[in-house]
Amino acid sequence: MKLNVGLLGGGSWGTTVASLTAKNCATTLWARNEETVREINEEHTNTKYLPGAKLHKSLKASTSIEDTVKDADVIVMGVPSQHFREVLRAAKPFIRPWIPIVSLSKGLEMGTKMRMTQIIAEELPGHPAGVLTGPNLAKEIHSGQAAAAVIAMVDKTIAKNLQQVFSTGLFRVYTNTDVIGCELGGALKNIMAIATGMGDGANAGDNTRAALITRGLSELTRLGTAMGGRRRTFAGLAGMGDLVATCSSSKSRNHHVGFELGRGKSLEQIIEEMSEVAEGVKTAKVVMELSKDYNVDMPISREVYKVLYEGNTVYDAFKGLVKLESGSEQEPG
């Protein structure tokens, strides 16, 4: 049975996923910007977010949330975490009962400290909620390079069905029932990407980057398991896979923020020059609160937070990390 997909959000990743699902299912993408919608419908491009990329010719776009979701059998939320609830509420009156809702967002809501699937459960109880995540840099996927992702749903049967919606050729999709772990892996690794970007911008070297990625994985696994995620998830695509891709690539928005901080730019200037949201900037605030709530020490996240919000320099951050006493690698910390 062919399903209808309604995707909310016209940024680089939302547009990429919509173009992928359009190969398998009738897909409509909602974007606020009328010019973006016109361009997708008439020219099959979205040059603001995916310059040079050609979208699937059957993908349709709309400025109407109602038209996008009213006939959808699957709703995909390609909206940044801080606007997620607002857009979901706008769509709520038009979504049919029991329709699965899949988040693409890799962030946590400020104030509530909620994951996106928790917001879905709160706003639309009864709807199966899941997440599509993993090492997925939009521009590479659009240029036809191989990639893998995870669709995480509590219900295995729904996950299996949705696997067919997102899988295409060189884009392989695996299933996982650990929604908490998959979601947290995607959100927490963005802070580590800012940290490695800071090191790269300051020419700290490959050894420093490797150490930050490895200790960063240990750090996000500690908090992720304390919050209910499964340890094994953090060693997979949603954890280590996403972490390595985001911490190593100049195409990563969060790495870019860190890199520019490492070169001496201010956060305000960096954000002003960006056309898309780097989720790790806001997530860093939430993670500091969660580390206190769960009594989990997160030294890398703490130093990133101090650079972002307390006026510390990148050099202060690295001095702070170097001063930490080294424990056993097998023990927490």
Q: What is the mean pLDDT of residues 11-21?
A: 95
The answer on pLDDT for 140 being more than 90 is no
- Of 307, 133, 158, 309, residue with least CA distance to 224: 133
The answer on pLDDT for 323 being more than 70 is no
Residue 14 assigned as binding residue: yes
Q: What is the mean pLDDT of residues 84-104?
A: 97
pLDDT band at 326 (very low <50, low <70, confident <90, very high): low
Residue 146 assigned as binding residue: no
Give 298-308 pLDDT, tens digit per residue. Answer: 999 999 999 99
Position 239 scores a pLDDT of: 96
Amino acid at 85: R
In CATH terms, the superfamily for domain 190-323 is: N-(1-d-carboxylethyl)-l-norvaline Dehydrogenase; domain 2 (1.10.1040.10)
Residue 106 assigned as binding residue: yes
- Do 204 and 60 form a contact (C-beta atoms < 8 A)? no
Average model confidence (pLDDT) for the chain?
93
* DSSP code, position 177: S
Give 46-64 pLDDT, tens digit per residue. Answer: 999 999 899 999 999 999 9
Q: What is the mean pLDDT of residues 316-333?
A: 68
Position 137 scores a pLDDT of: 86
- Do 251 and 273 form a contact (C-beta atoms < 8 A)? no
Q: What is the mean pLDDT of residues 21-47?
A: 96
Query: Hey, what are 88's tokens?
Result: 């979901």
For the chain, domain boundaries: 4-177, 190-323
The answer on pLDDT for 289 being more than 70 is yes
CA dist 31 and 257 (Å) reads: 25
The answer on pLDDT for 25 being more than 80 is yes
Question: CB neighbours (10 Å) of residue 183?
Answer: 29
Residue 224 assigned as binding residue: no
Same fold? 4-177, 190-323 = no
Instruction: Tell me the catalytic residues.
Output: 189
The answer on pLDDT for 172 being more than 90 is yes
Residue 279 assigned as binding residue: yes
The answer on pLDDT for 332 being more than 60 is no
The answer on pLDDT for 321 being more than 90 is no
The answer on pLDDT for 138 being more than 90 is no
- Do 20 and 12 form a contact (C-beta atoms < 8 A)? no
CATH class of this structure's domain 4-177: alpha beta
pLDDT band at 1 (very low <50, low <70, confident <90, very high): low
Residue 98 assigned as binding residue: no
> Cα–Cα–Cα angle for 176, 182, 186, nearest 5°?
145
Residue 32 assigned as binding residue: yes
The answer on pLDDT for 175 being more than 80 is yes
Q: What is the mean pLDDT of residues 126-148?
A: 91
Amino acid at 275: S
Give 214-257 pLDDT, tens digit per residue. Answer: 999 999 999 999 999 999 999 999 999 999 999 999 889 999 99
Give 247-284 pLDDT, tens digit per residue. Answer: 999 889 999 999 999 999 999 999 999 888 888 899 99
